[in-house]
Structure 1
Amino acid sequence: MTRLLRQTFLAMALFGGGIAYGVWLSSPRGQAWLQQTPLATWSQRAGEGVGSLLPWSESPPESASPADAVRPSNFIAAVAQKVGPAVVRIDATRTVASPIDPELFNQPLFRRFFGGQIPQLPQEFQQEGTGSGFIIDPNGLILTNAHVVEGSERVRVHLLDGRTFEGKVKGSDPVTDIAVIQIEGENLPTVTLGNSDQVRPGDWAIAIGNPLGLDNTVTAGIISAVGRSSGQIGATNKRVTFLQTDAAINPGNSGGPLLDAEGRVIGVNTAIFQRAQGVGFAIPINRAMEIAEQLIRNGRVEHAFLGIRMITLNPDLVERLNRDPGRSTTLTVQEGVLIGQVIPGSPAEQAGLREGDVIVEIDGQPIRDAEQVQQLVDATGVGKTLTLRVIRDGQARTFQVKTGVLPVGS
């Protein structure tokens, strides 16, 4: 009975609504609306659902930006077509020592097996690696990762149009993982550089490269985060922050461009998390070009250097350190950066800093973590003086430290 009543009420409601709508359409206002709505519009909107046919339905929201309004639905394909010719494959050949110790075959077990025919293994062999890069100058300057060409004796560059060039490494900076290659060419296709300082999480990200030797592979995603520190991604020996993206980046993508939705380069693809999927990293293009300009001009990059090893303090760590019976001093601050080691002969040692000092301020700026110290040192440059306020044995002290040049291989 209840079900029958519900069906009856529903039928009455639909019938009443239809009558009301028909009455409205027959009214002068309804007739005027019908005359203003062409048949083509009705046919087009019929596929959009009943709601779009109603005169009081809302208009679709306007695009968030003019770029979104004119961006074609296949903009990724358009970007790939535009930028692809400027993305190159880099084959780097290097000589490496054999990993097998020849003395291994002098062991009794091997002598018994081989007899007097001990195999003569080469002491070294040629190893070839593949990476990506992109042309930043029509006369043949190419930006890539330093690890792509590290230790290489021969570099070959392959363009999408089938041409192959011998390349020369103009400069390489392992500290930021940026390198510049020169090839002899004219009127080569080039990329357009963007502004990585304007990149936001959620922006489109398009990667082009040669993963696993598969030339000109295109993947897409978004910018997942900006400003990832080297410590956060497990690359503590790098002095650069990173863009994080979920665009697929695989071995061989290193050195290729990360692009925005308009096809402008916003980063240099450089790393992935081996234990995760959809987590890749790129060096922001603004920082990459700062390094590239120094490599083109000087062939090397000088990085500022204090000469200390640092530990970021927090209340839990301070409590554990203060319980350590091997420590001769007690920490009296809950945050800052503890100097764990002072490198002999370094600017820090010459200025009088010691192991156990806690840096709490640099040039009047409060210090929270080791990454902040490194960023301030990098921004200051070589040969400049920093004012450090430290806590030593519970007392605040101030030191003037003149930055030096980071030794090669540090």
Structure 2
Amino acid sequence: MKKIRLNNKQNYIWLKIDAFFRKSTILDQLSGTKPATYLLLPLIGVGMAFLSSCSTDLSRNPQASRETDTAQAIQESATPNNRPLVPTPEDTNFVVAVVDKVEPAVVQINTARTVRREVPEIFNDPFYQRFFGQQVPQAQERVVRGVGSGFVINSNGQILTNAHVVNNADTVTVSFSDGRTVQGKVLGQDTVSDIAVVQVPTNNLPTVELAKSGQVQPGQWAIAIGNPLGLEKTVTVGVVSATDRSISDISSSDSRVAYIQTDAAINPGNSGGPLLNARGQVIGVNTAIIRGAQGIGFAIPIDTAQRIAQQLITQGKVEHPYLGIQMIPLTPEVKQRINNLPNSNIRLQAERGILIARVLRGSPADRAGLLAGDVIQEINNQPVTTANAVQQLIEQSGVGANVQMQLQRNGKTVQLTVQPGPRPATTE
């Protein structure tokens, strides 16, 4: 054991410590108790001094090293990465910025309509009235209420939403994020595109910024704000899953819209609310989901919604262009079947395009000279391979526009100009 020579000061300290312990021992013997509290404090002081003086030699004592590491880990875990346990700018992101920017312009739309249940005509017969007496059913009325979303597109109080949100409503009430509630009036609605515009008697409203939906790409961020199931100011985030989804993809019978698909959660009540990009610009109007599916929602591209809305604002209605043809995509199977028909003067040679199966008599297509068996290959110099693409191009052209068509008829290329007419209320 190595001897250590102490100087006068060190000798004085040790003498004090020795006297303290001697005194404590005598007190213990006299009282029969051990003053643990008082004994602990000096021992802790000595121990701390010991650990401190030996801190550079922990490698020789693995147990002490482990204890030191544990104490240090506990201390660091209290403030991980030295980060205070309070909100910091790092807790905000682009979604928070988008919500702050757009939420004042997003509204909740509440509707009410009265539904009357009529008595079957048979009960109006006096015979049945005498037979049933007081048990003859009476006409009944009930109020059906609905909730949806919308967003302000004009500071003068014009709000864009879905037609199915306000369809047949007797009253429309609009609630803003600041707590205001006002009565609204439906300026117009278009059931084909499912777009409606509501007017409220309020000025200087915050508005949204509109993007160009033609620039939307799969994979980009998508943020939905609305009132799903009546839960106000709900924000969901996802991505654009796909673009140009056709009407058949969501089982819509006659909607000429190329939908934006998103996996941002959309539920009943989100209808009419905005779908936004990472800059807080509206790229679409949330409108539909596939029942029973998860993460599959659809929005009307804002370019289409804006075009329809302007017609509703200025004219109160929308005229959709109409050709009067029935179409099917041309496939090898369809081509073979048509060419094998007996007593048919149609011989298909085209490998791609849209086959005209029928031309309605007196329709714009009939007047332009289109025939059953023609294969549409281009519209306004744009190749087409789906019936949905044909509908979209015709819809974009508008009523009365000169639409250039390139057809193939019995192996020959034919150029025709068609002027779409207004879509009739009923078609064959």
With the length of structure 1 as denominator, give the TM-score of the two structures: 0.73
| Map of 2:390 onto structure 1 | 373
Conserved? CA contact 1:269–1:281, under 8 Å:
yes
Structure 1 residues 325 and 219, CA gap change in structure 2 (3 angstroms): farther
Q: Of residues 171, 175, 185 in structure 2, which corresponds to 1:168?
A: 185
Alpha-carbon distance in 1 for matches of 2:227, 2:344:
52
Contact 2:103–2:177 (CA<8 Å) still a contact in 1? yes
Q: Secondary structure at the match of 1:269?
A: strand
Alignment correspondent of 1:401: 418
Matching residue of 1:238:
255
Q: Which moved more, 1:358-367 or 1:216-225?
A: 358-367
Of 112, 120, 126, 1:102 maps to: 120
In structure 1, distance between residues paired with 2:104 and 2:379:
47
Question: Cα 1:129–1:261, aligned 2, differ >3 Å: closer, same or farther?
Answer: same
* SS across alignment from 2:109: strand
Question: How many Å separate the matches in 2 of 1:249 and 1:115?
Answer: 51
* CA deviation after TM superposition for structure 1 residue 176, in Å: 1.9
Q: CA distance change for structure 1 residues 106 and 132 in 2, over 3 Å: closer, same or farther?
A: same
Q: Structure 2 matches for 1:137-286, cutoff 5 A?
A: 137-286=154-303
2:175 counterpart of 1:118:
no
Task: Tell me, yes or no, if structure 1 residue 88 matches structure 2 residue 107.
Answer: yes
Taking only aligned residues, the RMSD between alpha carbons, in angstroms, comes to: 3.2
Aligned partner letter, 1:89: Q
Deviation at 1:105, TM superposition (A): 6.9
Q: Secondary structure of 2:224's partner?
A: strand
Matched residues in 2 for 1:207 and 1:106: separation?
51
Number of matched pairs: 342
Deviation string, structure 1 residues 222-264 (Cα, Å, up to 9, x no partner):
1112222333333251122121110000111110011222322
Residue by residue over 1:252-301, the C-alpha shift from the partner in whole angstroms, topping out at 9 and shown as x without a partner, is 11100112223222211111111311011111223222222222222222
- Structure 2 stretches lacking a partner, 5+ long: 1-75, 82-88
* Residue from 125, 133, 141 that aligns with 2:150: 133
Residue ranges of structure 1 left out of the alignment (5+ in a row): 1-42, 49-69
Give me the whole-angstrom Cα distance separating, in 2, the residues matched to 1:252 and 1:381: 32
Contact 1:102–1:121 (8 Å) recurs in 2:
no
Q: Which residue of 1 aligns with 2:18?
A: none
- Once residues 172 and 71 of structure 1 are traced to their aligned partners in structure 2, the CA distance between those partners, rounded to angstroms, is 44
- Aligned identity (percent) is 53
The structural deviation recorded for 1:397 is 4.0
Structure 1 Cα separation of the partners of residues 217 and 412 of structure 2: 42
- Output the CA distance in 1 between the equivalents of 2:322 and 2:221: 36
1:306 aligned partner:
323
Q: Residue in 1 aligned with 2:402?
A: 385
Counterpart CA distance in 2 for 1:325 and 1:93 is 59
Asked if 2 retains the 8 angstrom alpha-carbon contact of 1:245 and 1:281, the reply is: yes
Contact 2:119/2:139 (CA < 8 Å) preserved in 1?
no
Cα deviation code 1:337-365 (max 9, x no counterpart): 12223233211122232333322333454
Q: Once the 2 structures are TM-superposed, how far is the Cα of residue 172 of structure 1 from its aligned partner?
A: 1.7
Q: Distance in 2 between matches of 1:380 and 1:186?
A: 34
8 Å contact from structure 1 (residues 75, 261) kept in 2: yes
Q: Is the 8 A contact 1:249 1:269 kept in 2?
A: yes
Q: Summarize deviations over 1:117-168 as a string: whole Å, max 9, x none.
A: 122133x654332211011222211111112112223211112222211111
SS at match of 2:169: coil
Greater alpha carbon shift after TM alignment, 389-398 vs 362-371: 389-398
Distance 2:147 2:166 in 1: 9
User: Matched residues in 1 for 2:383 and 2:99: separation?
Assistant: 45
Cα distance, 1:328 vs structure 2: 6.7
Larger radius of gyration: 2
User: Structure 1: how far apart are the matches of 2:240 and 2:217?
Assistant: 7
CA displacement at 1:377 relative to structure 2: 1.6
- Aligned partner of residue 249 in structure 2, secondary structure: coil
Partners of 1:164 and 1:221 lie apart in 2 by 30
Give 1:58's aligned residue: none
One-letter amino acid of the counterpart of residue 212, structure 2: N
Q: Look up the equivalent residue of 1:206 and give its one-letter code.
A: I
Return the offset for 1:106.
9.4
Flag the 1:205–1:360 CA change in 2: closer, same or farther, 3 A: closer
Cα gap change, 1:79/1:331 in structure 2, threshold over 3 Å: closer, same or farther?
same
Please tell me whether residue 319 in structure 1 is matched to residue 352 in structure 2.
no
**3-state DSSP class of the match of 1:340?**
strand
Instruction: Note the C-alpha offset of 1:409.
Output: 5.7
Does residue 1:352 correspond to 2:369, yes or no? Answer: yes
Map 1:59-74 onto structure 2 (within 5 A).
73-74=92-93
Aligned partner of residue 244 in structure 1, secondary structure: strand
Structure with more helix by fraction: 2
State the alpha-carbon separation in 1 of the partners of residues 389 and 311 from structure 2.
24
Structure 1 residues 384 and 162: alpha-carbon distance in aligned structure 2, compared to 1, 3 A threshold:
same
Contact 1:144/1:254 (8 A) holds in 2: yes
Secondary structure class of the residue paired with 1:139 = coil
CA 1:199–1:340 in structure 2 vs 1: closer, same or farther (change >3 Å)? same
Aligned CA distance change for structure 1 residues 255 and 323 (closer, same or farther; 3 Å): same
Q: Which amino acid aligns with 1:345?
A: G
